[in-house]
Amino acid sequence: MNKIKSSGIILSFILTGFLHAEEGNSHKGEVLSEVKAHALTMIDKRIASLQETKSCINSAQSRDDLKKCREDKKSDRGEFKAEREKFRSELKEKRARLKAQREEKKS
């Protein structure tokens, strides 16, 4: 349960950072909706992963089965982290493009 709370807190900090970074941007609504959609997608994926882990633990018949459940959960966390980093880099690139477009318009 603490890990779930920690994940929620970390996610809120990430979203807050994205939102504050986008203030003053003329495309603020577009980026905001993209960040929100990604956050909701990731939450749904985490919920599904936790439900799979719960099911795995409930059906475990031995210590080895439990170990397998933990290993599967650990691999899911790695995938979530990789997906989060990919999204961050894509968002950073998009911000740079939008900034360049704004500067072009000023010139």
- Quick one: pLDDT band at residue 77, thresholds 50, 70, 90? confident
Q: pLDDT at position 3, please? A: 66
What distances in angstroms separate CA 32 from CA 44, 55, 101, one per listed residue? 18, 35, 18
Residue 64 confidence (pLDDT) above 90 = yes
Residue 95 confidence (pLDDT) above 80 = yes
User: What average pLDDT is seen over the chain?
Assistant: 81
Q: pLDDT at position 23, please? A: 44
List of E strands, the chain: none
Q: pLDDT at position 18, please? A: 56
Q: pLDDT at position 11, please? A: 60
What pLDDT digit, counting tens, does each position of 2-25 carry? 666 666 666 666 666 655 554 444
Triad 89, 42, 44: Cα angle to 5°: 165
Q: Return the SS3 of 27.
A: coil
